[in-house]
């Protein structure tokens, strides 16, 4: 006999936690699974105060929001498995979970779920240049994890590639941790992130090299980063010969955007769409955050890269919708609550960055309505093989 759960949530970041809390509060038995040793996803790296309205924790630091959510999940009776990776989804709503740390004996446990919510977040994009694999070149998120979570500096002299909000905020946080940021490099003619973050960098006297890119990273005798060659780029972002500058640094951090981590729904043959604004290929979903396959929901960056607050709200919708489908919430109450959340999401998706995302989200939901209409039970799918246990 397989262990049974009403709802299995994959990923314990803001979206997964919110989904698990809502489903748990409604009375569903919920298992929340996360690869990491601590729940909270990337929230515990966010040591800055959030923007937005008070309904969206403005003025609260990310790690405090993380702590609040963990307590709420506990109060809602959510079972949490940490250090556990979901390695497969199988026909009949079966979730295979590998439990255990590297270097120890691992075991695979299969859970029989009624509903599955995938909230696996996003991963950092990489920019390749000569020497990009040299130790000392890393994701901006990796550097942020080192200083803000592990309290250790990834290097002494750091060059940041990218001036989106991640590039700007992580640069500032590296300085707060005592690292020297020797510069930021941006291929575009305009700063990518908010002016308020860029102003902090400029006030600290850190140069921002606009219309520049990294051409090469040169290792020293120890095999690690020692020098970085940057150059100006033309309008097609190709380096212009003769404009090279040499910068001394022991660390290069890459902040080149994120792409949704949305591999798991593919295993259940959910339908996808490509969306440039949201960072890549994402599972098509409706207003319930349900995919083309009945009972499989998505939330947060998996459905398109945004931020913690939108992830939280989408997670709530998925959790409520799953609990509603299982009969734990009265349909009328559920519909009203979800409508309120969608209104809050509209408020979050405002401003020059947000408006684009609002329009794209509407397009995705319209595409779902046109192509899929209503979610299909998996046994009606083409190529479905029933597995008997």
Partner 1 sequence: MCMRVENHVILDVEKKVSPVEITVDGLVIEAYEGEPVLGALLNAGIKINRYTVKRHEPRGLFCGIGQCTDCAMVVDGVPNVRTCITPVKAGMVIKTQDGLSKGEA
Residue 47 or 381 with smaller CB distance to partner 1:
47
Q: From residue 227 to residue 266, what is the string marking binding to partner 1 with x (rule CB under 8 A)?
A: ----------------------------------------
DSSP β-ladder status, 258-260 and 272-275: unpaired
Place of tokens 């949201």: 278
Burial 195-212 (b: 16+ CB within 10 A, else e): eebbeebeeeebebbbbb
Q: How far is CA 85 from the centre of its chain?
A: 16
Q: Rounded to the nearest whole angstrom, what is the least distance from the CB of residue 222 to partner 1 in the complex?
A: 8
CB 313 within 8 A of CB 348: yes
Q: Near partner 1 by CB under 8 A, which window of 131-139, 192-200, 302-310, 373-381?
A: 131-139
Q: From residue 32 to residue 71, what is the string marking binding to partner 1 with x (rule CB under 8 A)?
A: ---xxx---------x-------------x----------
- What is the three-class DSSP state of 128? coil
Q: Rounded to the nearest whole angstrom, what is the least distance from the CB of residue 125 to partner 1 in the complex?
A: 12
Q: Rounded to the nearest whole angstrom, what is the least distance from the CB of residue 357 to partner 1 in the complex?
A: 24
Q: Near partner 1 by CB under 8 A, which window of 71-79, 95-103, 296-304, 361-369?
A: 95-103
- What is the three-class DSSP state of 221? coil
Q: Rounded to the nearest whole angstrom, what is the least distance from the CB of residue 172 to partner 1 in the complex?
A: 11
Beta bridge partners, 252, equal: 137, 159
CB 221 within 8 A of CB 107: no
Residue 352, both tokens = 């020059």
- Among 12, 138, 198, 201, the residue binding partner 1 under the rule CB under 8 A is 138
Residue 128 or 386 with smaller CB distance to partner 1:
128
Q: How far is CA 216 from the centre of its chain?
A: 29
Q: Rounded to the nearest whole angstrom, what is the least distance from the CB of residue 231 to partner 1 in the complex?
A: 24
Asked if 376 is part of the footprint of partner 1 (rule: CB under 8 A), the reply reads: no
Asked if 135 is part of the footprint of partner 1 (rule: CB under 8 A), the reply reads: yes
- Among 94, 99, 114, 153, the residue binding partner 1 under the rule CB under 8 A is 153
- Among 79, 98, 124, 226, the residue binding partner 1 under the rule CB under 8 A is 124
Residue 197, both tokens = 């973050």
Asked if 127 is part of the footprint of partner 1 (rule: CB under 8 A), the reply reads: no
Residue 297, both tokens = 């929901």
Identify the helix (H) or strand (E) that includes residue 17.
helix 14-26
Q: Rounded to the nearest whole angstrom, what is the least distance from the CB of residue 379 to partner 1 in the complex?
A: 33
Q: Find the binding residues for partner 1 in span 203-222 (CB under 8 A).
A: 222
Closest CA to 299 of 272, 331, 262, 255: 262
Residue 305 or 341 with smaller CB distance to partner 1:
305
Q: Rounded to the nearest whole angstrom, what is the least distance from the CB of residue 127 to partner 1 in the complex?
A: 13
- Among 1, 54, 59, 102, the residue binding partner 1 under the rule CB under 8 A is 102
Asked if 188 is part of the footprint of partner 1 (rule: CB under 8 A), the reply reads: no
Residue 382, both tokens = 């083409």
CB 6 within 8 A of CB 23: yes
Three-state SS annotation for 263-319? CHHHHCCCCEEEECCCCEEEECCCCCCECCECCEEECHHHHCCCCHHHHHHHHHHHH
Q: Which residues bind partner 1 (CB under 8 A)?
A: 35-37, 47, 61, 101-103, 123-124, 133-139, 141-143, 145-148, 150-154, 156, 176-178, 222-224
């Amino acid at each position: 006999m397989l262990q049974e759960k009403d709802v299995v949530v994959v990923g314990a970041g803001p979206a997964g936690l919110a989904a698990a809390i809502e489903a748990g509060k409604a009375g569903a038995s919920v298992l929340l699974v996360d690869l990491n040793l601590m729940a909270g996803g990337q929230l515990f790296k966010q040591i800055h105060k959030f923007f937005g309205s008070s309904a969206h924790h403005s003025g609260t630091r990310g790690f405090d929001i993380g702590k609040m959510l963990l307590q709420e999940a506990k109060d809602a009776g959510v079972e949490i498995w940490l250090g556990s990776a979901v390695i497969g989804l199988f026909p009949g709503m079966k979730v295979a979970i590998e439990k255990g740390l590297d270097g120890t004996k691992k075991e695979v446990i299969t859970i029989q779920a009624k509903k599955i919510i995938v909230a696996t977040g996003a991963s950092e994009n990489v920019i390749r240049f000569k020497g990009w694999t040299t130790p000392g070149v890393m994701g901006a998120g990796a550097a942020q994890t080192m200083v803000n979570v592990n309290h250790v500096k990834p290097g002494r002299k750091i060059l940041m590639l990218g001036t989106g909000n991640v590039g700007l905020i992580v640069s500032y946080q590296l300085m707060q941790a005592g690292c020297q940021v020797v510069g930021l490099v941006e291929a575009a003619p305009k700063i990518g992130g908010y002016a308020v973050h860029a102003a902090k960098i400029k006030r600290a006297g850190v140069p921002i090299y606009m219309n520049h890119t990294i051409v090469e990273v040169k290792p020293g005798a120890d095999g690690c980063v020692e020098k970085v060659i940057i150059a100006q780029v033309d309008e097609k972002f190709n380096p212009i010969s003769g404009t090279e500058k040499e910068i001394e640094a022991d660390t290069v951090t890459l902040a080149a955007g994120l792409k949704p981590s949305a591999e798991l729904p593919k295993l259940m043959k959910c339908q996808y769409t490509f969306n440039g604004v949201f960072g890549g290929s994402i599972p098509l979903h409706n207003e319930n955050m349900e995919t083309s396959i009945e009972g499989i929901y998505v939330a947060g960056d998996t459905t398109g890269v945004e931020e913690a607050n939108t992830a939280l709200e989408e997670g709530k919708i998925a959790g409520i919708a799953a609990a509603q489908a299982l009969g734990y919430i009265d349909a009328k109450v559920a519909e009203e609550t979800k409508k309120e959340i969608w209104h809050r999401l509209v408020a979050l998706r405002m401003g020059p960055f947000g408006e684009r995302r609002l329009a794209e989200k509407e397009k995705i939901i319209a595409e779902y309505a046109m192509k899929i209409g209503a979610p299909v039970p998996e046994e009606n799918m083409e190529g479905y093989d029933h597995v008997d246990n």
